[in-house]
């Protein structure tokens, strides 16, 4: 199965801060999802569920065995597929994925997308380490593959993942069914569309090194360096651009060591000079997410999601799992059932309008910003005020012993989505 041309500007960036890098006793996670500029990303809430033994689950392309119990999740996903680019579950586990190309060839045919693996892990895990085991187990059984774009021309890749919970984070990097993982128990870390795990490997596929030797990629001498052994010898332009973003992101984290907050992560995601906030060659940042995962289990995890493109001109809105949480209709895309181009074969021969209400309003607002300077200032001020309102509410919640129980704050995200939608009318 083919991929886009080697120069296609495909990208994403994930970040995590683990105390003492964080300014507060919390793990802080962040991701920019960079996708085709007209692709719509929706924010979907899926409640916890129980399932019949032996039942099957339809993912984007293939079915897998369902488990007996799944956890509640909040997902930011391209609206045509089943999985997600990033998300969190009710236990404070967050995951973001990235495209990567290695010496291991891409498989023919359809399997699980990296985005499917991400959602499956969130639905089935209560910690970052358990989520890693879910992904690697599914990789071994089903493999990864299939087109990752809503387009007749297939675009395929392998995946890296950043997984975080209240206490630690893991980087998981894959090449087909093979993988290596690195545990992060303190400090800051980022990933950007390339292999980054060298010799500091915390866990790995049992056949990783023997396979590399059999392929002639490693001579078996010295310490095994996963990135060095599995990275492409001749890096395409897209990988060199990813390296520049990775280095820029690492430097931005270094500059804020010990003082990283949700606002700092939002600022990094909005950084255009580095390319982290992307708008180039038909690709752009289509959605963003920042999560605060307090180490104190009595405090709520808070997940800020945009549901709209370009974080520099979007609002991060707070989501908390709790009583009253439900789907915000303004960020849910229309569905097309059996007639959806992803369901009819051959796939993606037609296009449908997947824009949700907030996306439409946001795009209209961006058009006004670009054509009317006065309106731009007014709209930017509305966005700023709304985001600050959300940040202030969250700061008060995390700092005060008199704040309402976080179980009662399930409707917070719906309220902020409604306010933003009204601001664009």
What are the catalytic residues?
A: 12
Query: What gap in Å lies between CA 275 and CA 203, rounded to an integer?
Result: 31
Report angle CA 109, 111, 115 to the nearest 5 degrees. Answer: 130
Contact yes or no for 156/2 (Cβ under 8 A)? yes
From 97, 93, 72, select the one nearest 84 (Cα to Cα). 97
Query: What gap in Å lies between CA 273 and CA 245, rounded to an integer?
Result: 10
Query: What gap in Å lies between CA 218 and CA 260, rounded to an integer?
Result: 39
Q: End-to-end CA distance of the chain: give it in Å, rounded.
A: 44
Query: What gap in Å lies between CA 343 and CA 65, rounded to an integer?
Result: 20
Side-chain-side CA neighbours of 37 within 13 Å: the count stands at 11
Query: What gap in Å lies between CA 377 and CA 387, rounded to an integer?
Result: 15
From 327, 281, 318, 321, select the one nearest 395 (Cα to Cα). 318
Query: What gap in Å lies between CA 128 and CA 168, rounded to an integer?
Result: 7
Which tokens hold the place of 365?
A: 């607002």
Residues paired with 100 in a beta bridge: 158
The single-letter DSSP state of residue 408 is G
Query: What gap in Å lies between CA 355 and CA 182, rounded to an integer?
Result: 38
Residues 6+ apart with CB under 8 A from 364: 424
Query: What gap in Å lies between CA 153 and CA 347, rounded to an integer?
Result: 10
Three-class secondary structure of residue 168 per DSSP:
coil
């Amino acid at each position: 199965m083919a991929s886009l041309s080697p120069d296609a500007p495909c990208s994403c960036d994930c970040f995590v801060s683990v105390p003492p890098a964080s300014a507060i006793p919390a793990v802080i996670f962040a991701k920019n999802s960079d996708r085709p500029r007209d692709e719509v990303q929706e924010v979907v809430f899926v409640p916890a569920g129980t399932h019949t033994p032996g039942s099957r689950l339809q993912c984007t392309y293939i079915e897998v065995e369902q488990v007996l119990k799944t956890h509640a999740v909040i997902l930011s996903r391209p609206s045509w597929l089943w999985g997600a680019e990033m998300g969190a579950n009710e236990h404070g586990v967050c995951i973001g994925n990235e495209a990567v190309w290695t010496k291991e060839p891409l498989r023919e045919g359809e399997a699980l997308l990296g985005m499917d693996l991400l959602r499956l892990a969130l639905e089935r895990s209560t910690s970052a380490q358990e989520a890693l085991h879910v992904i690697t187990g599914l990789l071994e059984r089903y493999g990864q593959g299939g087109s990752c774009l809503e387009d007749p021309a297939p675009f395929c890749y392998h995946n890296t993942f950043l997984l975080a919970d209240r206490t630690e984070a893991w980087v998981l990097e894959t090449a087909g069914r093979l993988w290596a993982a690195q545990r992060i128990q303190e400090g800051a870390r980022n990933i950007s569309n390339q292999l980054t795990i060298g010799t500091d490997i915390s866990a790995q596929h049992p056949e990783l090194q023997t396979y590399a030797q059999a392929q002639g990629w490693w001579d078996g001498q010295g310490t095994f360096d996963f990135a060095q052994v599995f990275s492409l010898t001749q890096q395409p332009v897209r990988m060199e651009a990813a390296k520049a973003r990775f280095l820029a992101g690492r430097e931005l984290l270094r500059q804020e060591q010990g003082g990283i907050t949700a606002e700092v992560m939002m600022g990094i995601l909005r950084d255009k000079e580095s390319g982290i906030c992307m708008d180039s060659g038909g690709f752009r940042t289509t959605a963003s997410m920042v999560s605060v995962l307090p180490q104190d289990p009595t405090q709520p995890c808070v997940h800020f999601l945009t549901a709209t493109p370009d974080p520099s001109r979007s609002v991060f809105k707070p989501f908390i799992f709790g009583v009253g949480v439900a789907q915000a209709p303004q960020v849910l895309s229309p569905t097309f059932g059996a007639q959806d181009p992803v369901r009819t074969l051959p796939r993606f021969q037609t296009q449908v309008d997947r824009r949700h209400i907030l996306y439409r309003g946001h795009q209209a607002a961006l058009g006004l910003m670009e054509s009317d300077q006065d309106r731009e200032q007014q709209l930017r001020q509305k966005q700023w005020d709304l985001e600050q309102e959300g940040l202030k509410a969250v700061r008060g919640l995390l700092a005060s012993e008199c704040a309402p129980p976080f179980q009662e704050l399930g409707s917070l995200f719906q309220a902020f989505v409604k306010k933003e939608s009204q601001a664009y009318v």
